[in-house]
Structure 1
Amino acid sequence: MSKKQHTIKDIARLAGVSKGTVDRVLHKRGKVSQKAHDKVKKVLSEIDYQPNPIARNLKRNKLYRICVLMPDWKIDPYWKPAELGIKEAIKEFKPFGVIVDQFLYHPHYVESFTTKSKEILASKPDVILMAPLFQEESISILKECREAKIWAALFNNYINTLNGEIFVGQDLIQSGKVAAGLVDKIVKNDSKIAVVHINKEAHMELKEDGFKSFFKEKNNSSHQILCENFNTEEEEEFDEQVSIFLKKNEDLKAIFITNSKAHRIADLVANIKGFEQMVIIGYDLLDENISYLKQGKIEFLIHQKPKRQAYLSINYFAEHFLFGKDVPSRMLLPIDIITSENVGYYLE
């Protein structure tokens, strides 16, 4: 038989039954005689019938709602690409009944995070997609989602106590190991190396753990590793604290910054004599980071692909609702190493 797109009317004619009978067989509802059922199934097999879930979804006027809870990109520019990924997904899936609503919270204030999360929970969406900066509060939200039977997923930041929730992002421990491997290839043995957290969040500790584990697992490694935390809320205080740390550690050979603020360290290092050969490794393609990368003041950037993370997170659920595809429980994106030579290929 022809491979054309057959309608219910076509199937009914070929099977010699009514359209209502075909509809009941296709959607497994209502009573159908065994004889009629077999006739319809035989025709479906012969024409290799594939249902069109998008058309069915539109016909039923069924809407699916995904709420995204993420930091405000106007406050922290790291999240701007994630915003673009969400906009791309909205444009692609809104015509098919998948609605995406955004709830932006202040990345420095837990109260903002909890307020926005309560708004989402009260609206009872199908999915909460969350970039969790505050671990304890995020765990509480995930618990409420399970109790309310709301599907929960995380992107970008991993939580160690996940209990069946979906995660889209990078393996943060492996990411730290990659950074350590880069440092190890550049600096001499017995060097002093710093792991620096700026505005420390729980997920950064996983990068630190990976960084340290690389050297623990490596034979004949004798680097001295320091760990420091700095906060940018007070601009002058931040600059002073970092400057004091650098002057106390004049023999420091490399710094690994665990988030997108490597440019803040690079800016200070550039103004302190004796650190011209300092190796700086950080994350993310912010304009400031790219500028220092091209100047040779940042050696490497690790690309976390926030746009891709946000888009894929929505895409997986949209394809589940529309096509019945399985949602992967864990989707880990590749860890890309960006240099001044290849950065141009990653810029849109």
Structure 2
Amino acid sequence: MAKPDKKITIKDIALLAGVSIGTVDRVIHNRGEVSEKTRVKILRITETLNYQPDVLASTLASKKNVRFATIMPKVDKESSFWKAPLSGIEKAIKEIEHYGITNKTYFFSVFEKNSFLEVAQKALDENPDGILIAPSVQEEALQFANICDERKIPYAFFNSNIAELNQITYVGQDSIQSGIVGAKLMDYCLGTNCEILVVSIYSFLKNNTHIQNRKQGFIKYYETKSGAKKQLHSLEINSFNDGDIYSELRKTLKEKPNIKGIFVTNSRVFHVARFIESEKLSHINLIGYDLTTENIPYLEKGTISFLINQKPIEQSYSGLIALFNKIVLKKDVPKEILLPIDIVTRENLMYYE
């Protein structure tokens, strides 16, 4: 009998069952012909000894390279947000590359309607074993997920989610809850009987579920809070151009001069911060998302009161590790890996990367 502290091997099971190693291998991997009596005997022994196949050893022995693909927005000149997930991808691959894991990243443009599907097709042409997707454009990502299902390619989402699909997991924040947190912060900042503006700056808003969910969460907080005497207004700006954004903000604030707080539903909060400084509107409390190089200076100066940090490095890192655990290690992974909703101020900024 094998010692209790020794790792159980196929050879140990073969000796106990009185059969060849090849017979045990066929039973464990359910291939080839083995008599029912022998199969039951071997399975009983594996259960008694709590035998666990060494998946990593099998992967190394097979010399099979496992290829992942990542599909995400490319970094644009106006916002550095998507630089951070690249660091998470690099970190994950460094940890698992010695198991024969590789990753190729494909970038799509959020400004071009067909870019996602064109890039996704290039990824499919390489026949990856698993795909990590940032589904920033929901309709196109939904089409692609259906194709992955048909081809039996496992996929995971990060940064934003599409519910009720067959992704192995989603890594990111609870978008509705983060909107609620944003509203709670705004409530701390403002007195009673003042007005708040919720601003969404986007390229394809209808395709950005997480932005809609943040807005929904923000509004929900005030709908359910007893005694909240704050009037909410909504502004959707379909442009990343400062001139367009300033024009819309100027018009809205002229019509509603009692606005004392602005909540921006994504990392584009720096556009609004620039406007506040240029118009000398220091009485307005501003809250938004993400520790980007564009946002940080305005947080340090106090133009932005709070930033909600999404942990973009951890999103992509955990997404690739989840693919590795599911595809290579054959482990179950949670349907959602929800990350903390970090509140960053200029007083605790130095503790973040």
Which of 270, 291, 294 lines up with 1:285 in the alignment? 291
Structure 1 residues without counterparts, runs of 5 or longer: none
Counterpart among 266, 269, 280 of residue 262 in structure 1: 269
Contact 1:230–1:242 (CA<8 Å) still a contact in 2? no
| Residue 234 (structure 1) aligns with | 241
1:163 aligns with 2:175: no
Q: Which residue of 1 is the match for residue 305 of structure 2?
A: 299
State the secondary structure of the residue aligned to 1:331. strand
Greater relative CO, 1 or 2 (CA 8 Å, sep 6+)? 2
The aligned residue for residue 66 of structure 1 is 68
Question: Are 2:155 and 2:323, in contact at CA under 8 Å, matched by a contact in 1?
Answer: no
Instruction: Tell which deviates more after alignment, 246-255 or 113-122.
Output: 246-255
**Distance (whole Å) between structure 1 residues aligned to residue 50 and residue 347 of structure 2:** 51
Corresponding residue number in structure 1 for 2:149:
146
Q: What amino acid maps onto 1:180 in structure 2? A: A
Counterpart amino acid of residue 79 in structure 1: W
The SS at the match of 1:253 is strand
Deviation at 1:287, TM superposition (A): 2.1
Q: 1:29 aligns with which of 22, 28, 31?
A: 31
Hey, what does 2:132 align to over in structure 1? 129
Query: Do structure 1's residue 181 and structure 2's residue 184 form an aligned pair?
Result: yes
Which residue is equivalent to 1:312? 318
Change in 2 beyond 3 A, CA 1:141/1:46: closer
Q: Indicate yes or no: 2:82 matched with 1:79.
A: yes
Equivalent pairs: percent with the same residue? 37
For residues 309 and 233 of structure 1, the distance between their equivalents in structure 2, rounded to whole angstroms, comes to: 25
Q: CA 1:102 to 1:191, structure 2 compared with 1: closer, same or farther past 3 Å?
A: same
TM-score of the superposed pair, with normalisation by structure 1: 0.90
Q: CA deviation at 1:44?
A: 4.5
Q: What's the CA shift for 1:308?
A: 0.9
Aligned: 1:325 with 2:336: no
SS at structure 1 position matched to 2:104: strand
Letter in 1 for 2:7: Q
Alignment length (residue pairs): 345
Deviates more, 1:230-239 or 1:168-177: 230-239
Deviation at 1:216, TM superposition (A): 0.7
Q: Deviations over 1:232-272 (max 9, x none)?
A: 44343333333343344332110001111212211221222
The farther-off stretch of 19-28 and 174-183 is: 19-28
Q: C-alpha separation between the residues in 1 aligned to 2:180 and 2:256?
A: 23
Gaps of 5+ in 2: none
Q: 1:50 aligns with which of 49, 52, 61?
A: 52
Aligned partner letter, 2:166 = G
CA gap of 1:42–1:153, structure 2 versus 1, over 3 A, is closer
Change (3 A) 1:333 1:16: same
Seen in structure 2, the aligned counterparts of structure 1 residues 84 and 215 have a Cα distance that, compared at 3 Å, is same
Residue number in structure 2 paired with 1:205: 212
TM-score, structure 2 as length reference: 0.88
Note the C-alpha offset of 1:195.
0.4
Corresponding position: 1:89 with 2:96: no
- Matching residue's letter, 1:285: L
Larger mean Cα displacement after TM superposition, 228-237 or 168-177: 228-237
